[in-house]
Amino acid sequence: MSTDENTTTATATTAGETVAAMASTATRYAVAPGYRVNVRSGPSTQYPVVRSLPLGATVAIACQKYGEWITGPYGTTKIWDNIAPGEYVSDAYVRTGSDGLVAPRCA
């Protein structure tokens, strides 16, 4: 493995570890009661579902980004919450207590 490959691997691992560490210490927010929310690979229903959250789930929001408008139990919004690398849920299903951003914008 070249030095460049080692650097890229180390950077990717560090970035993944940073997101994981942020998520583990971040505030957790409740998902709307009675909903099994789809987790998607991007901020739109056009992205594939990667998993579904169980009833009563809570999520830590690493960052947020704007995407497709969604209407849910907490209103209509175009904010999507990044809950893990490559995993997004609409903020319309997460009780953040705010109509705006509660976490940094995703890069």
**AA letter at 83:** I
Query: What are the pLDDT tens digits along the chain (107 aa)?
Result: 444 444 333 434 444 454 444 445 669 999 999 999 999 999 999 999 999 999 999 999 999 999 999 999 999 999 999 999 999 999 999 999 999 999 999 99
The CA-atom distances, in angstroms, between 36 and each of 14, 25, 58 are 31, 24, 11
- Percentages helix, strand, coil for the chain (3-state, rounded to 5) are 25, 40, 35
Q: Identify whether the C-beta of residue 43 lies closer than 8 Å to the C-beta of residue 80.
A: yes
Three-class DSSP category at 104: coil
List, for residues 33-60, the tens digit of each pLDDT value.
999 999 999 999 999 999 999 999 999 9
